[in-house]
Amino acid sequence: MGDLKGFLKVKRSKPRYRPVCERIKDFSEAAVLRAEKDSQEQASRCMDCGTPFCHWACPIGNYIPEWNDLVFHSQWEKAYQLLAATNNFPEITGRVCPALCEYSCVLGLNDDAVTVRENELAVIEYAFSHGLVKPNPPQKRSGKRVAVVGSGPAGLACADQLNKAGHLVVVFEKADKIGGILRYGIPDFKLEKYILDRRIEILKKEGIVFNTGVDVGKGLKPDYLQDHFDAFCLAAGSGPARDLNVEGRELSGIYLAMDYLLQSNKRVSGGKISADHLLDAKNKRVVVIGGGDTGADCMGVAHRQGAACVTQIEIMPKPGECRSNEYPWPKYPLLLKTSSSHEEGGRRDWLVATKKFIGSEGKVKKIFCAKVEFTKGKGNCPEMREISNSEFEIEADLVILALGFQRNDGKGLLDQFKAEKKNIFICGDMQRGQSLIVWAIAEGREAAQAIDKYLKG
């Protein structure tokens, strides 16, 4: 521990963002990278706890107190080596992870937690800018071949670990570019795609083979894979998005969030979209249904496309701003999240149920809603009921449904494999259900460990 009183002398600094009036005019990263000296100062707040609960909360078990201490002492290269030992893609988690570790920080018991996520980002960006992140292909190959289906964070982490172990890894991706949700589900103002591309180039130079435009199970049959590979990892992500089957759903102008985000990301990267398929918020009254991170991302995109106004509605109650007794430390609490997209404008409303869509000439024009409340029912479980005479309408020209995803258990694909199930592994959202990127990385690493053990007997 570098400074025994660092946490007493230094206050937590808030993340910095470009001015709203500037950043809503483009899709460049909204956050501003912190200066090295500021990161060192913030790292001094880490107490090097006897029992660091940040380890317990982090799905990949980052050595947080250790590399914070190294940062404080300007030992950036050692900090990077320690960070890279547990995290395949810290440049991604350092930008988009909700920082589970910070909510279990011991300092957070009676003060503001350590800025773990920003410190992590500082370490990896220092490493990239100083040429520390280099291709390091394995010195010896095992002769075993592994097929990874899906190139999201779980698939990439699995492929990276297996390649490091000396196996030949081929990643199959049905989209035209590698990255899965990292490329097409997260807007550039949170994760610019050059960040993803520079990591993929390193993985290529280390020997991983990437095949895009390949839909395993449809275009490419599992029979082919079984003839050419010793093991398989299915990491194809979540299942279909949840829809809202209410009256008027067939009206035009109502779209699923991932369709909206995917098209926006393609446009930002230079892709051309025909006018009859264009999903654009310019001068439109936009309503996002769903109060999670994906809904917030849609708000940010709508702001940048020049929406006339943006409203986000959520059927659940408004979360509190402080921990409740239901979520004591060190658990990850249910708290009100205000993202950079919310700070850019728009309105949020909670306890709102969507009853039907109202349109004119086949296009959505209004959403008919009602207020709801939650009461305790049988077994103390919450029950939702509509409040009488609480109906109201919201004008809308563009409606985005951000309601999460259904489970993708991979059974349809698994059924096509005729090989013994012992050489087929599943990870990420296919195994866990819709979850966080850091959990996907953890799942990919665990799957790789299991596959390596299987291949080595």
pLDDT tens by residue, the chain, 457 residues: 567 888 999 999 999 999 999 999 999 999 999 999 999 999 999 998 889 999 899 999 999 999 999 999 999 999 999 999 999 999 999 999 999 999 999 999 999 999 999 999 999 999 999 999 999 999 999 999 999 999 999 999 999 999 999 999 999 999 999 999 999 999 999 999 999 999 999 999 999 999 999 999 888 888 888 889 999 999 999 888 999 999 999 999 999 999 999 999 999 999 999 999 999 999 999 999 999 999 999 999 999 999 999 999 999 999 999 998 889 999 999 999 999 999 999 999 999 999 999 999 999 999 999 999 999 888 888 899 999 999 999 999 999 999 999 887 667 777 777 656 789 999 999 999 899 999 999 999 999 999 999 999 8
- 3-state class of 71 per DSSP? helix
Say what the pTM is.
Answer: 0.95
Please indicate whether the domains covering 145-239+406-455 and 254-401 agree at the CATH topology level.
yes
Lookup result for tokens 């609480």: 390
- pLDDT for 419 equals 59
Q: What is the CATH number of domain 6-129?
A: 1.10.1060.10
Tell me the one-letter amino acid at 397. Answer: D
Burial class (CB in 10 A: 0-12, 13-18, 19+), 327: middle
Q: Give me the CATH topology for the region 145-239+406-455.
A: FAD/NAD(P)-binding domain (3.50.50)
Tokens 């990301």 belong to: 265
Which fold does the domain 254-401 belong to in CATH?
FAD/NAD(P)-binding domain (3.50.50)
CA dist 365 and 349 (Å) reads 19
Where do the structural domains in the chain lie, given as residue ranges?
6-129, 145-239+406-455, 254-401
Query: What is the pLDDT, as a whole number, of residue 127?
Result: 98
For position 263, what pLDDT does the model report? Answer: 97
What is the reported pLDDT for 2? 63
The answer to whether the beta carbons of residues 181 and 71 sit under 8 Å apart is: no
**Residue 237, CA distances (Å) to 90, 174, 178, 231 in order:** 20, 12, 13, 19
pLDDT of residue 206: 98
The pLDDT of residue 415 is 77
Tokens standing for residue 198: 């520079």
Residue type, 282: K
Residue reference for tokens 């349109």: 359
Residue 162 burial class via C-beta count within 10 angstroms: exposed 0-12, middle 13-18, buried 19 and up: buried
